[in-house]
Structure 1
Amino acid sequence: MLFIFFSGADIIIGQMIRPLTYINGIPHIDHFLFTAYQSNITLLFWVPQHAIVAWVCTGLLLNDFFEDINKSYCFILCLSLLWSPFVFLGICPFLAILILTKKKKLLSFQNIVIAPIIILIIAGFYLSNSGNTSVSGFIWQFINIIDKYYLLLVFFLCEFMVHIVLMKDYINRLDKNSKSIIYTAIIFLSFLPIYVIGEYNDLAMRASIPSLFIIMIFIGRYINESKHKDYRYYIIIFLLFMGSFTGILEISRAVIGVYEKQTTCDYWYSLVNIEKKFTSQYIDEDVEENFYYSYLLKKNRPEGDIVYNLDDLIWNMWNEDSSKIEYDLEKLTIKSEEPVDTSFTCQIKLSEGVYLVYINVSGYINKIDQSGAHLSFHGVTKIIDIQPGKYNNAELKKIVKIDEDGYDGMIDFGIGGWGKSSGNIQLNDIIIMKLD
């Protein structure tokens, strides 16, 4: 039960800084200022890929401290970089203590040679991204820390500090290894919010998971080993009870969403649909200048002959209706705020073979039923299905195979396509390449 519902007392501080975010009528309460230490249930609902790897790696580390040493631990830990680099950073302080206290037992080829090589390769991949996150810097660059210091203090108290103060006598009786682990967790969580990375401070939310997991374990040990239950014991139980509401609200949202058939998650069909303030954390916009891409990655660029490009094609309007639709034939832009099925169309002729079809689009498509925008073989099939969302010079590609009869007909670019939709979409470029 402790593992399932463990959380700071977010319900106490949830509305102290700003109005709560409601999803399907249920508040999301564990985000605070430019930081958040999230409950276990919140982690499982929103970022299981970060949470599970953090719990597994932290559990293995604690096993190495108190049980038998795993001579491959450093090697195993470095693989977490693939799933969550911030979780890896959150485990590093504890790894440093493990190395200092039991360095001789960790001596192995995989730990000393293979692990550093893997870390350098993966870290090099992340650091080679020349794109900057939309938000990064010290916390005082985003909020007036002098005016808000009391809120940060309340945050620390409700998340873990009160628990630690109440367990002070218990912690003082712990062995040396246990003390070093829990004090490291306290110090790390206390300084972690100082630097912000990400629109919602991914650094704090993810790097805090190992330390919070460790504190949860020691709270569990304190409850289990307490023979004389005084006021401190009952205050901790009360704080855990208040913290459980964070997880209960997350579960309630899912249950209500299923019962009322509401959407309880976002569907992203492609990274190009996601706002740039988020994708800048993942996508390098200047990949050709990227050292990792240029020198370390195997190139897999398609080779072939360009059959058509934008300048080769003569476009006309199909299903013209000036009362609903705005066409710009020069810019190849179609705009309609009402649901329509319309396109620009042009004649092409393709012989038998395999082709790479590439387009670059900008604009937006509204979500109406399952329709969006498209590039299609006229009346035959879609080549590229452009899902509802926002696009800014988005590059979309598709491999198509033309049979022995070839294709002699029209291609369409437009809104709708086997349905109706609305929006404002522009074709910036198109290339049709016959692959070797």
Structure 2
Amino acid sequence: MGLGSIAIIWTAFGGAGHFFYANSIDWMVRDALLHDLILAEGLPAYRFGGDETYILRAPLAYDLPAAAAGRIVGLYFADKLLWAWTATGTFLFLALLPFESKLSLRLAAAMVIPVVFSGMDIVGFMFPDYHWGAFPFFHAKLDWWLLAPPRVAYFANTTQLFWSPHHVIPGWLAAALLYRHFGSARATRIAIILAFAIPLWSPLTWLGAIPLLALTFIRREYRLFSLKERIGILALIPGAIIIILYLTLNATNIEFGATFDDATRNGQFAALSTTGKIVWYFVSYSFFLVVEFVVLAMLVRGAMAKVLFYASIAILALLPSISIGPYNDLAMRASIPALTLLCIATVRFVQSPDISGSGIRLWTVYLVLALGSVTAFFEFYRASTRPQWDIVESQNLVDVLHGSPEPHYMVKKDANFLGPIMRETSTIPRSLDYFYLCQPRHPEILARKPIAPGRQRGPLIPLGPFMSNTE
């Protein structure tokens, strides 16, 4: 009952269902995608000038159940069903966590941890050389506190749930199932299913889960697999190939590279000498790791199988070096399974006196969690204080993207090798007049109003000795 209530309340503050303010940048896209899946006869297609037809290229497992029901009940109720679907996934995650059955203060603290779990973003944000040590506005998104490069952020559980539940729910479930069954014969079967199912939800989350799922295979030699397991693996391979081919259509159009090369967004970094750039990068990189997970990991070690725990730490330590997408979506999403395992270790640590004791180590963990909870508080504050807006029943993905094909979501139908074998589908026209049909407080209207420019953030380290003499 308690876990169900947490799941219902927690997800109600997110974007699904539009009960409170939905973070406009992401939820306008999610709403439009749900609209198009309900409207289209098959895979949604779009036309941009002339006869160029683009098809939707996106993982759709999160949206499909609500979209299927939406063909009967309409978009408004489909949005409410999407919330119910989100709450169900969140409840399953909470139900898989190692909560004790005996009521205690430690149990109460442990049940709060999944909601408030985060890196100490407020510490990074208020570091003297960032934002001049000023406390952020309550509407701020604290997860983005590091001044690139590296351009990287590890999102809090609540941030992920409110902005992108389709990425976080499969990562949560995969990590929780892996924790519960790691080392057992059942773990291999679960890993096989997860390895083929997660890409339907989030390919980037899948990239972070694969190394952890592979551990279950490494611990068992292939000759020890049962005949049923071998047949199951072979049967899933054809479907997996089709899924991967679809999700990677024209993927070369998506930004990819090392985070050290991400200098165009930061003029201060570009002005440094080569030595200065190297110092900036590695000091910022190290500081990010310490603030986001290293301190907590050192405190809760011993609360999980060593191989699983240290594999998660290794993933989190390496991810900031690589970037995929304009905002390094790889780090944001591929970190979810590993961060979830760290969250689970923290839940177990708090409830286990034999591991945590009752002294300074336990209270230091509480302090780290309290600092991390500021990020979750900011997300709840934004959701409850900004004006709620309803889903727009006539806005499609083309409208949200302002009439331009976005390579993250669309590919030319005739320019990919799967095009000839895809079934024909009717194109979705763009016919929305924002100012005539949208509510005055809708984000599409507000986005067109001028906003006050933000302040320039300062560097993390003193840069005087490393500044280039070129003018």
Does the TM-score normalized on the shorter chain lie above 0.5? yes
User: Match of 2:186, SS?
Assistant: coil
Q: CA deviation at 1:291?
A: 1.1
- CA-to-aligned-CA distance 1:14-62 (integer Å, 9 cap, x gap): 2557669x99961110023411111111111001111111111222222
CA distance in 2, matches of 1:197, 1:149: 20
Contact 1:23-1:253 at 8 Å conserved across structures: no
**Equivalent AA in structure 2 for residue 249 of structure 1:** F
**Equivalent AA in structure 1 for residue 143 of structure 2:** D
C-alpha change, 1:211 and 1:125, in structure 2 (3 Å) is: same
Aligned to 1:118: 239
Q: CA deviation at 1:198?
A: 1.2
Asked if 1:141 corresponds to 2:261, the answer is yes
Aligned to 1:83: 201
Q: Which moved more, 1:113-122 or 1:203-212?
A: 113-122
Contact 2:118-2:372 at 8 Å conserved across structures: yes
CA distance in 2, matches of 1:234, 1:224: 13
Matches within 5 A, 1:60-71: 60-66=177-183, 69=186, 71=189
User: Match of 2:140, SS?
Assistant: strand
Which of these residues, 58, 63, 67, is aligned with residue 175 of structure 2? Answer: 58
**Equivalent AA in structure 2 for residue 190 of structure 1:** A
Which of these residues, 9, 27, 34, is aligned with residue 140 of structure 2? Answer: 27
Q: CA deviation at 1:136?
A: 2.2
CA distance in 2, matches of 1:155, 1:106: 44
Q: CA deviation at 1:255?
A: 1.1
CA distance in 2, matches of 1:181, 1:130: 31
CA distance in 1, matches of 2:217, 2:293: 26
**Equivalent AA in structure 2 for residue 13 of structure 1:** G
CA distance in 2, matches of 1:210, 1:128: 25
Asked if 1:193 corresponds to 2:306, the answer is no
CA distance in 1, matches of 2:438, 2:350: 56
Contact 2:256-2:325 at 8 Å conserved across structures: yes
C-alpha change, 1:18 and 1:127, in structure 2 (3 Å) is: farther
C-alpha change, 1:100 and 1:249, in structure 2 (3 Å) is: same
Contact 1:366-1:389 at 8 Å conserved across structures: no
Residue identity (%):
26
User: Match of 2:410, SS?
Assistant: coil
Aligned to 1:220: 347
Give the length in aligned residue pairs: 305
- Which has the larger strand fraction? 1
CA distance in 1, matches of 2:171, 2:185: 20
**Equivalent AA in structure 2 for residue 9 of structure 1:** M
Aligned to 1:229: 358
- Which has the larger helix fraction? 2
Contact 2:122-2:372 at 8 Å conserved across structures: yes
CA distance in 1, matches of 2:446, 2:405: 14
- CA-to-aligned-CA distance 1:217-240 (integer Å, 9 cap, x gap): 112222222343332222221010
Stretches of structure 1 that go unaligned for 5 or more consecutive residues are 303-355, 373-386, 391-436
CA distance in 1, matches of 2:374, 2:380: 10
Which of these residues, 27, 31, 39, is aligned with residue 156 of structure 2? Answer: 39
Aligned to 1:425: none
Contact 1:81-1:122 at 8 Å conserved across structures: yes
* Structure showing greater Rg: 1
- CA-to-aligned-CA distance 1:48-77 (integer Å, 9 cap, x gap): 111111111222222331556053541343
| TM-score, reference length from structure 2 | 0.57
State the Cα RMSD in Å: 3.5
CA distance in 1, matches of 2:438, 2:363: 57
CA distance in 1, matches of 2:362, 2:286: 22
User: Match of 1:88, SS?
Assistant: helix
| TM-score, reference length from structure 1 | 0.62
C-alpha change, 1:163 and 1:371, in structure 2 (3 Å) is: closer
- CA-to-aligned-CA distance 1:102-147 (integer Å, 9 cap, x gap): 34357614542123222211111122225512x3210011044532
